[in-house]
Amino acid sequence: MLTSLSINNFALIEKLAIDFSDGFSIITGETGAGKSILLGALGLVLGKRADLTSLKIKEEKCIIEAHFEISRYHLQSFFEANDLDYEHETIIRREILPSGKSRAFINDSPVNLQELQELSVFLIDIHSQHQTQELSEENFQFQIIDSIAGNQDFISQYASVLKTFKKDKAQLSQLNTNLHALLKEQDYNTFLLEELLSAQLHSGEQEELENVYEQLNNVEYIKESLDKSLALANEEQYGILQNLKELKSTLQKTANFSPDYQTLTERINSVSIEFDDVLNELEQLTENLVNDPEKLELTNQKLQTIYNLQKKHQVNTIDELLTIQLDLDNKVVLVGDLESEIQALEHKISQTVTELDSFANSIRENRVNAVPVLSGKLVVILEQLGMPNVRFNMELTETPNYLQNGKDELQFLFSANKGSDFGLLKKVASGGEMSRIMLATKAILAQYSKLPTIIFDEIDTGVSGEIANKMGDIMKGMSETMQVFAITHLPQIAAKGNAHFKVFKSIVGEQTVSELKLLNTEERIGEIAQMLSGTVVSDSALNHAKALLN
């Protein structure tokens, strides 16, 4: 509950600090006295956006601080999730700087407005006349029915399963899209893969084949060159080998005369040995050189296959072709893998659908049971509020779709007068009727769920007499389980409060300021008497005020 509120430098409020109690608190004051300013300040604490027009003195910052007792609200998980210090007495502070920037703090930890707004849902429900349009929204209507039905746990579990369902459905859609794209190319990819596999390629093969081809294609020329080389080396009289032997023999005769001659002799000897090796290899190559037209043709065919594949795939090497082959193989295999993955995911989704249907059926069954309870309670309360012939018809329709809170759609039908046809609540209910229905709804919700502190902002506009008295009784009844504030112009409601605050304007120096004051018993009698009779308070008004308070 809201335990205290302090406001500095906001609109017409220069400085204000006030403590609140539980139960039913009344706020009254003349039109324009500053009740809306008070709500505006609370709105900032709850995360509404601010601007410089909020500052009373433009050169000083505005500070609004609210204290909340939250020990019964079970909000520890929210504080943990947002990395905030949890305190039973939680303090929310909002600052607006002269520069226009604003800052927000929860227990002195800086937070952004979104975090503040998320927390405020659990703290205060500000309900004004124009907010009765919420009644026309299907989500809010379901909130009422589900509170009575006790569906909170079912809906929470359903929502968790639905999140998984949507995620899996999105994944399945993507897998099917991928599979469709692969299947469109499957035949062509398979053909290309088989073509590459049939070529039986291996790294380095192209260079080997090109060497073999060059030798086989020029075998006659090579043999002629080798034979001529052997002839030049081995010619009996003038051959290189014979001349080399004579040179070696001649130099050996001078070797003993100088180290230089000895070195030359050794070098000639080395050349002779190397030349012998060369001749042996030439003879071996000549013997191995065979004219093989068949091998030449096979080598040429394999090379042409490689060249054609390289041209088709726009690459220059066998290694690149092998990379393409691996990629095609993966794509062909991927089709089978995708089909298996899709089949497994479809099975999982089928199980999820069964689980969702089970939760949705439980939710629907509880709603069906709750509808007559809600309708009956609304009729009882609204009869007290001057609507004796009111009727409700809440039609639940099961759909094939998985919605956020089940599979039901709801038509909230309403008839205010005897003999009138039912119509959609948002179309046939007047503003005054909507206000009373909303009050009745909040009163019922207070019995089934832990509503936060609620502030009724002049929802009694347009009613008076006994109806106003009944509205006061209903709000008083709600205050037995929660903190209730009522901003009102009606003395019948003002007299029901446990505490009574008055908003008023005063002149301080040259400035008009708004103030909020907790009234004592005598001041409260005078305030209610003034609400009854106007500016001039008569004795009868005072007596009537005392009677109302008693």
What confidence tens digit (pLDDT) does each residue in 273-285 have? 888 888 888 888 7
Please check the confidence at residue 28 and state whether its pLDDT lies above 90.
yes
Q: Inform me whether the pLDDT recorded for 119 exceeds 90.
A: yes
Band (244; pLDDT cuts 50, 70, 90): confident
Does residue 183 register a pLDDT over 80?
no
22 with 77, same domain: the answer is: yes
Q: How high is the pLDDT of residue 440?
A: 92
Q: For residues 462 and 431, what is the distance between their CA atoms, to the nearest angstrom? A: 9
**Domain finish residue from 276, 306, 337:** 337
- 333 confidence band (pLDDT: 50, 70, 90): low
One domain, residues 5 and 86: yes
Show Cβ contacts of residue 498 under 8 Å, excluding neighbours closer than 6 positions.
21, 23, 24, 25, 479
The order of strands in the sheet holding 109-111 is 13-19, 2-10, 62-69, 89-96, 102-106, 109-111
CA contacts within 13 A on the Cβ side of 226: 20
Largest CA distance in the chain: 161
Residues 500 and 550 in one domain: no
Which of 290, 321, 337 delimits the end of a domain?
337
Please give the mean pLDDT across all residues of the chain.
87
Pairing of strands 423-424, 2-10: unpaired
Counted domains in the chain: 3
Give me the CATH number covering residue 30. Answer: 3.40.50.300
Q: Cα torsion for 510, 515, 517, 523, to the nearest 10°?
A: 50
Q: Looking at the structure, do residues 464 and 497 belong to the same domain, yes or no?
A: yes
| Domain-located, residue 128 | no
State residue 237's pLDDT score. 65
Query: Are residues 255 and 191 part of one domain?
Result: yes
| 259 in the same domain as 188 | yes
Distance from the Cα of residue 64 to its chain's centroid: 31
Cα of first residue to Cα of last residue in the chain, in angstroms, is: 27
Rounded distance, CA 308 to CA 435, Å? 84
Residue 374 resides in a domain: no
Q: What is the DSSP string of 350-406?
A: HHHHHHHHHHHHHHHHHHHHHHHHHHHHHHHHHHHTT-TT-EEEEEEEEEEEEETTE
pLDDT, residue 172, reads 94
Range of the domain at 260: 177-337
Residue 108 lies in a domain: yes
Residue 146 falls inside a structural domain: no
The last residue of a domain, from among 337, 359, 384: 337
pLDDT in tens, 249-268: 878 887 788 888 788 888 88
Q: Helix, strand or coil for residue 102?
A: strand
pLDDT in tens, 349-406: 999 999 999 999 999 999 999 999 999 999 999 999 989 999 999 999 999 999 999 9
Asked if the structure places residue 400 within a domain, the reply is: no
Sheet containing strand 391-403, edge to edge, reads 391-403, 406-415, 423-424
**pLDDT tens sequence across 68-106:** 999 888 899 999 999 999 999 999 999 998 888 889 999
For 193-221, write each residue's pLDDT tens digit: 788 888 888 888 888 888 878 877 777 78
pLDDT of res. 130: 66
Q: Is the pLDDT of residue 287 over 80?
A: no
Place of tokens 């109302």: 548
54 lies in the same domain as 80: yes
On whether both 331 and 213 belong to a single domain, the answer is yes
Give, in order, the Cα–Cα distances in Å from 522 to each of 27, 33, 154, 528.
Answer: 16, 21, 52, 10
Q: Which of 432, 373, 407 has its CA nearest to residue 155?
A: 407
For residues 483 and 539, state if they share a domain: no
Q: Is 104 a member of any domain?
A: yes
**At residue 509, does pLDDT exceed 80?**
no
| Three state DSSP letters for 291-346 | CCHHHHHHHHHHHHHHHHHHHHHCCCCHHHHHHHHHHHHHHHHHHHHHHHHHHHHH
The predicted structure's pLDDT at residue 213: 81
The SS3 assignment for 87 reads coil
- CA 80 to CA 74: how far, in whole Å? 12
Does a structural domain hold residue 168? no
Query: What pLDDT is attached to residue 133?
Result: 75
Pair (526, 494) in one structural domain: no
| pTM beyond 0.95, yes or no | no
Task: State pLDDT tens for residues 457-499.
Answer: 888 777 777 888 999 999 999 999 899 999 999 999 999 999 9
CA 443 vs CA 27, 279, 456, 475: distances in Å: 20, 116, 12, 7
Q: Are 117 and 224 found together in one domain? A: no
pLDDT of 83 reads 92
Report yes or no on 393 lying in a domain: no
Considering just the CA atoms, what is the radius of gyration of the chain in Å?
A: 48
Q: How many CB atoms lie within 10 A of CB 55?
A: 19
How far is 310 from 327, CA to CA, in rounded Å?
Answer: 16
Question: Are both 109 and 202 inside the same structural domain?
Answer: no
